């Protein structure tokens, strides 16, 4: 009887410990509240089924680098007065005048410039195969991952783009920012974590082997005839201090449970876990887009400053020629000019110099941002190619309906939150099935050997010193904590409803963002065309005024007014075309387009 009691105790311990692997008890993971815009960190696992919540639009804009001038940076540039480049901005409507990566072809059908490379590549979501159901381990069979997204097949960080020889182009700068930025490396590591957690959920059916090895002593002498008879030595008798020839004992015990049927809990866990890599890949794509966007911000800021410096040089030269002419006329005591004209001209020349200082400051900031986003080394020379901001052909501004459709199809945030909703739905399913028990195949063994005790050969004799037992059988495990299960199910359903609400908030924010960027792009293009014509007329005016002044038929007021109008028109023209290029880039970003040259 004692031997049978011992076996019953062993089986009970095995059921208590090993069979726990068959009962799925998920704990809802924390989620981000709407408006935070922060990537989710909760991940799918046997105890946490929510891959992550998806960031939603939040107020705020990405500051644009100031204007910059020509030049190159050979080392760490001197810090300017502006703040360093910000981190990833939240997904909010940014003004079209905000610098960004040129992406005309990504949102229109017109040919794109060589330096403007965003394409229309889509971050696809691989279909998720439905679970094979339960029955004879139908939801537990190991094999190839089901529902694993293509983005997670190679979760390691992409190889960084090699440093280009010669001046860096926009395409090269964006490519380096999208692959070498530290934020991209962080998002790639997060994707690897999601993949590992998916593997963990996929192998949740695997038995948990609990094995114990031990040795100890001293063990008193225990000798009999091996058939359960009385002690055969004086030292084997209990109740005295005669321990006889003491020895040591060595033992090993183990148990495991293989779940066979869980009413779909393990299949739901695997499907929920497969959404993690989808979320991770989408969040990484969002970070890549932000890094490329900021890289183009710095690039266009540099081009704007370069164009501004050229215009200032031209105006400064004309003002200097006019000043020399006034000085010559003053020496001749001409009635055409007076000393006041010299003061006027000197005033405008100093205004030009002040604008030059602002442009040089912008140059330093733009080059610093370019070095940062290109991950340039301390000794790496970084030069930027010179590119004209005005586009040669007409800009085909896509209509709002097309832009909204593209955003709904390609935005990575929408893919991420869709995957998060699937994971939450599977969590609700697991909670609903937690009321049902789990069926499993349990096994155990118990081996003991003691040097100072006689091994019992009779199957009816109890032998705690030298035992060799093993067993295999079907077990059913379940709990009756119904109130707790009710509360957990309600909590899972509330989290699912919360994520559906976040999806609506995200879609509304994306619609607002795309609407604002598209309208600002159209307005910027209209301004660019107007100021282009205004500059042409200002050039004609300035040429005529200078010729009249040179011939002695015009006065200095007309000359200064013409130069002032030319300077203003040129500056506005450059800024407006800058806004157009940025508007195209911004529209590509908010519609989810990614550079065609990316990896």
Considering the domain boundaries, does residue 521 fall inside one? yes
**Which residue would you say has higher pLDDT here, 248 or 73?**
248
Are 391 and 499 found together in one domain?
yes
Question: Domain tally for the chain?
Answer: 2
Give a yes or no: residue 381 inside a domain. yes
Task: Please give the structure tokens belonging to residue 26.
Answer: 């998920």
User: Are residues 301 and 234 located together in one domain of the fold?
Assistant: no
Measured CA to CA, the distance from residue 311 to residue 39 in angstroms comes to: 44
Same domain membership, residue 315 and residue 398: yes
Q: Residue for token digits 């229309």?
A: 120
- What was the pLDDT predicted at 438? 94
Looking at the structure, tell me whether residues 399 and 451 fall in a common domain. Answer: no
Q: Is 286 inside any structural domain?
A: yes
Residue that is written with structure tokens 């930027």 in the block: 384
CATH classification of the domain holding 300: 1.20.1600.10
Say if residue 562's pLDDT is above 70: yes
Tokens for 151? 């983005």
| Same domain, residue pair 538 and 581 | yes
Both 367 and 469 in one domain: the answer is no
* Residue span of the structural domain in which 217 resides: 208-261+440-477
- Give CA–CA dist 231/242, Å, rounded: 13
pLDDT over threshold 90, residue 433: yes
Average pLDDT rounded to a whole number, residues 40-66: 36
Task: Please tell me whether residues 406 and 464 are part of one structural domain.
Answer: no
Range in 16-20, 171-175, 431-435 the model is least confident about: 16-20
User: Are residue 240 and residue 294 in the same domain, yes or no?
Assistant: no
Domain check: are 395 and 514 in the same one? yes
pLDDT value for 244: 85
Rounded CA gap, 599 and 591, in Å? Answer: 20
Residues 6 or more apart whose Cβ sits within 8 Å of residue 536: none
Q: Tell me, yes or no, whether 540 and 577 share the same domain.
A: yes
Q: In the predicted model, is pLDDT for residue 157 greater than 60?
A: no
Identify the pLDDT of residue 275: 95
In a domain, 94, yes or no: no
Classify residue 118: in a domain, yes or no. Answer: no
| pLDDT, tens digit (0-9, with 9 covering 90-100), for 69-120 | 334 443 333 333 333 333 333 333 333 333 333 334 443 333 333 333 333 3
Average pLDDT, the chain: 74
Q: For residue 178, is it within any domain?
A: no
Asked whether residue 388 is assigned to any structural domain, the reply reads yes
Q: What is the DSSP string of 145-176?
A: PSS--GGGSS-SPPPPPPPPSSSBPHHHHHHH
What is the model's pLDDT at position 313? 82
Does 108 fall in a domain? no
Model confidence at 2, pLDDT cuts 50, 70, 90, reads: very low
**Whether residues 308 and 383 fall in one domain:** yes
Indicate if 348 and 217 belong to the same structural domain. no
């Amino acid at each position: 009887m004692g031997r049978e009691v011992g076996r019953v105790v062993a089986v009970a311990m095995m059921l208590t410990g090993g069979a726990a692997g068959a009962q799925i008890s998920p704990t809802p993971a924390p989620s981000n509240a709407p408006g935070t815009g922060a990537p989710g960190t909760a991940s799918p696992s046997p105890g946490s089924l929510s891959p992550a919540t998806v960031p939603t639009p939040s107020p705020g804009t990405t500051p644009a680098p100031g204007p910059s001038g020509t030049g190159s940076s050979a080392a760490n540039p001197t810090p300017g007065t502006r703040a360093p480049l910000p981190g990833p901005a939240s997904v909010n409507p940014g003004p079209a005048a905000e610098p960004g990566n040129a992406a005309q072809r990504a949102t229109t059908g017109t040919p794109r410039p060589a330096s403007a490379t965003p394409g229309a590549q889509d971050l696809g979501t691989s279909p998720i195969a439905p679970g094979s159901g339960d029955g004879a381990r139908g939801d537990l069979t190991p094999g190839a991952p089901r529902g694993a997204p293509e983005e997670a097949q190679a979760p390691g960080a992409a190889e960084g783009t090699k440093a280009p020889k010669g001046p860096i182009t926009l395409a090269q700068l964006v490519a380096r920012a999208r692959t070498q930025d530290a934020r991209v490396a962080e998002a790639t590591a997060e994707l690897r974590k999601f993949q590992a957690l998916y593997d963990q959920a996929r192998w949740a059916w695997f038995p948990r082997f609990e094995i114990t090895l031990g040795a100890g002593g001293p063990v008193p002498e225990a000798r009999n005839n091996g058939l359960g008879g009385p002690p055969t030595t004086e030292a084997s008798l209990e109740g005295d201090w005669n321990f006889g020839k003491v020895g040591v004992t060595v033992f090993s015990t183990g148990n495991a449970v293989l779940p066979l049927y869980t009413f779909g809990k393990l299949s739901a866990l695997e499907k929920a876990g497969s959404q993690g890599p989808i979320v991770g890949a989408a969040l990484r794509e969002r970070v890549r887009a932000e890094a490329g966007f900021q890289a183009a911000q710095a690039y266009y800021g540099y081009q704007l400053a370069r164009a501004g410096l050229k215009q200032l040089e031209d105006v400064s030269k004309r003002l200097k020629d006019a000043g020399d002419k006034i000085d010559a006329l003053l020496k001749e005591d001409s009635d055409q000019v007076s000393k006041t004209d010299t003061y006027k001209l000197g005033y405008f020349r100093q205004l030009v110099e002040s604008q030059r200082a602002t442009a040089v400051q912008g140059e330093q900031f733009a080059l610093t941002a370019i070095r940062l986003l290109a991950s340039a080394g301390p000794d790496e020379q970084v030069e930027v190619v010179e590119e004209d901001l005005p586009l040669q052909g007409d800009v085909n501004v896509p209509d709002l309906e097309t832009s909204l459709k593209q955003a709904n199809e390609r935005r990575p945030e929408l893919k991420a939150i869709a995957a998060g909703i699937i994971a939450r739905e599977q969590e609700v399913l697991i909670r609903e099935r937690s009321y049902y028990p789990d069926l499993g195949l349990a096994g155990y063994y118990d081996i003991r050997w003691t040097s100072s005790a006689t091994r019992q050969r009779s199957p009816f004799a109890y032998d705690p010193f030298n035992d060799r037992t093993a067993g295999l059988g079907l077990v059913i495990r379940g709990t009756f904590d119904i109130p707790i299960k009710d509360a957990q199910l309600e909590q899972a359903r509330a989290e699912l409803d919360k994520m559906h609400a976040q999806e609506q908030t995200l879609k509304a924010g994306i619609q607002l963002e795309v609407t604002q960027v598209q309208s600002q792009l159209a307005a910027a293009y209209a301004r660019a065309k107007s100021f282009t014509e205004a500059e042409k007329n200002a050039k004609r005016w300035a040429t005529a005024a200078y010729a009249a002044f040179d011939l002695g038929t015009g006065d200095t007021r007309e000359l200064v007014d013409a130069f002032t109008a030319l300077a203003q028109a040129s500056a506005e023209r450059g800024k407006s075309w800058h806004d157009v290029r940025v508007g195209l880039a911004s529209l590509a970003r908010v519609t989810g387009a990614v550079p065609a040259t990316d990896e």
